[in-house]
Structure 1
Amino acid sequence: MGRLQKQVCQLVLDHFEKKYTKELGDSWTTIREVLTTPGCWQYAVLLNKFRFPLELETHLHMKGYHRLFHETLSILPETLKCYINRNPGKFPSQRHQIGKLKEYYILNASSLLPVLALAVKDGDRVLDMCAAPGGKSIALLQCASPDHLHCNEPDISRSRWLKQTLESFVPKAQMNVISTSELDGRLVEKFHPELYDKVLVDAPCSNDRSWLFSSDVHKAAARISQRKMLPIIQIGLLRSAVQALRPGGTLVYSTCTLSRAENSDVITNVLNSCTDIVPVDLSDLASVLSHEFTFASHVPHGLLVLPDHGKSWGPMYVAKLMKM
């Protein structure tokens, strides 16, 4: 309810107007309409395979929800159950209760694309490098049973949030395969070189959707000036992830911004500076999910979900790399 009452920050919108009209062309008009109208936003319900009762699915069906991933393809794990509604609105969240698992997690459905692209299998050693608040870690555990899931979050307060999320969704018996840390992700390569089969780098980014509703115009102005520094941090995180990956392993890089500088330009930089990695084509994933998401055309090295009318998901950029 609070989000609906917030006002769009004109300073940020003007910044986006200048930048994204140039980068996205005519698409920006629709994207702007969706991003600046929270009343049309949709939310997804990710079921927790460790807890959800069968009657929850019946209740969701009665409320007009349907399965987001209904195909039985290998890239869409049967154990990952996510429901969406064509209509805007948010299913009520559940409070954290010590000792009691939550039945579901509310999220932007496009947040699951990096998880699907990573394609974690049973027995994998997995690193979620920038894990808070924990939604993608939870989604990874819905897909498979890794040998080890390392959830890293350098910010102390966000790390506490991450640990609470894990406690809310993962049974104690399963927690023994999960570890947490508060490392700067750029240092992970030093502590864990070539250790992981799969690495997720859901990088800190501009976060266009929330940034538009900045209530403090001075902080918004500061973020505009700081925005050009983000790609440097993102490149550092991605290079560290490459070093933490074993040969033959794969990593996924994702952000929730439309910014080319924070998306494909970051991947291009790392591909040019790391000779042992190659991009992995994600067009199969896009073709399977094109009925639920609007994807930008001709995006270098990855996929970009564009917020659209009736498909208000995103922004979400996803790219996949393999270490030779």
Structure 2
Amino acid sequence: MEHLRRYAPIVDDLDAFLAAAEEPLHRVVWANTVRTSAAEVEDWLPDRCPEAERIPWFDAAWRIPAGASRPGKWPEFALGLIHSQEEVSLWPVWALDARPGEEVLDMCAAPGSKAARTAVGMGDRGRLVANDRKWGRLQGVHDVVTRLGLTCAASANANGAHIPGEACFDRVLVDAPCSGEGTSRKAGGGNRARIVQDDFHKLAAIQKSLLRRAVELVRPGGTVVYATCTYAPEENEAVLDGIYPEKAAIEPIQVPEGVHVAPGVTEWEGQRFRPDVANAIRFWPHLNDTGGFFVARLRRL
């Protein structure tokens, strides 16, 4: 994890961060409340995993310890009563806060967990467009949505930066392709995170084009959530800085009590960013025993 030492200037405890980045990662299961209820899942869950622990800040979700029985092999998973996901990746959907009846776009939807969680949060009412640039990856999205019995989601195959239309969605989620440094606790994640400096800037160019298009696609007053599973300010705050302040404001995100986050950084390696990037939130792995993530919520003006 030596490559992560570059973040020493912006992390509160470098040693704790590096140690946590190598620890095995637990999973989360959440109830598909379109088909079942949290109470029903809690009735049978101890038989599958006695160590399962309810997560207080997410609706109908439980932690499954690393090394415990794999939820994907449970019959309830096959029946579409639950879904399994990494805990920290639930936060972009939480920040999006999509409501029943709304028009929502998941711009980079594969492999489909965030799209599914969004549709369940909408009560399977409204319209969710699950888009991905790669046609082959959309099959995974379709499989997740079908298994869970969700009908409000439709798939689309387009480069997110070139999706047609103007101001046609209430909310847009941009879970952008990134360097993946925050996935080091997952199997193989450490290898995926080993990139060179030039890659940060190549990715940032893609990310900026996606975010700019997302702001254009959302209605005035609507919400855009930008998220990555990386720590690099080049892919996070610098991307937000590419949005003109008169186009969108970066809103504060009030996380529930007991959740520990760090604010977005306003300066990195001599570059200063627009002040409201500090309203974004950073999830460092040692703060909540999760993977790493960055989440920002923008309001179109």
* The two structures share one fold, judged by TM-score above 0.5: yes
Higher alpha-carbon deviation: 108-117 or 237-246: 108-117
Residues 96, 168 of structure 1: 8 Å contact kept = no
Q: Superposed, which structure 2 residues align to 1:11-30 within 5 Å?
A: 13-17=1-5, 19-24=6-11, 26-30=12-16
Q: Which has the higher helix share?
A: 1
TM-score (norm 1): 0.78
Which residue of 1 is the match for residue 108 of structure 2? 130
Q: Superposed, which structure 2 residues align to 1:76-91 within 5 Å?
A: 80-84=59-63, 87-91=65-69
For 2:44 and 2:285, how far apart are their aligned partners in 1? 27
- Residue 23 of structure 1: SS of its match in structure 2? coil
Residue 109 of structure 1 pairs with residue 87 of structure 2? yes
For 1:143 and 1:215, how far apart are their aligned partners in 2? 29
Which residue of 2 is the match for residue 6 of structure 1? none
Q: Superposed, which structure 2 residues align to 1:186-265 within 5 Å?
A: 186-188=161-163, 191-210=164-183, 225-265=198-238
**Compared with structure 1, are the counterparts of its residues 28 and 91 closer, same or farther at alpha carbon in structure 2 (3 Å cutoff)?**
farther
Which residue of 2 is the match for residue 149 of structure 1? 128
Instruction: Give, as a single letter, the amino acid of the residue that structure 1 aligns with 2:51.
Output: G
- Residue 22 of structure 1: SS of its match in structure 2? coil
Unpaired segments ≥5 residues, structure 1: 1-12, 71-75
Q: Which of 29, 38, 42 in structure 2 is aligned with 1:45? A: 29
TM-score (norm 2): 0.83
Higher alpha-carbon deviation: 105-114 or 44-53: 44-53
For 1:202 and 1:116, how far apart are their aligned partners in 2? 13
Q: Does 1 or 2 have the higher relative contact order (CA < 8 Å, sep 6+)?
A: 1
Instruction: Give, as a single letter, the amino acid of the residue that structure 2 aligns with 1:16.
Output: L
**Compared with structure 1, are the counterparts of its residues 274 and 192 closer, same or farther at alpha carbon in structure 2 (3 Å cutoff)?**
farther
Q: Please list the CA deviations of residues 150-182 of structure 1 after superposition, one character each: whole Å capped at 9, or x if unmatched.
A: 00011122111111111111x2xx42x322111
Instruction: Give, as a single letter, the amino acid of the residue that structure 2 aligns with 1:296.
Output: A
Q: Please list the CA deviations of residues 66-121 of structure 1 after superposition, one character each: whole Å capped at 9, or x if unmatched.
A: 33136xxxxx6xxx311125x54454133599xx6422222221211111111111
Q: Please list the CA deviations of residues 114-146 of structure 1 after superposition, one character each: whole Å capped at 9, or x if unmatched.
A: 111111111110000000111111111221234
Identity between Structure 1 and Structure 2 (%): 26
Higher alpha-carbon deviation: 250-259 or 205-214: 205-214
Aligned residue-pair number: 282
- Residue 308 of structure 1: SS of its match in structure 2? helix
For 1:140 and 1:215, how far apart are their aligned partners in 2? 25
For 1:196 and 1:228, how far apart are their aligned partners in 2? 29
Unpaired segments ≥5 residues, structure 2: 266-277
Which residue of 2 is the match for residue 185 of structure 1? 160
CA RMSD of aligned residues (A): 2.8
Higher alpha-carbon deviation: 197-206 or 256-265: 256-265
Residues 284, 290 of structure 2: 8 Å contact kept = yes
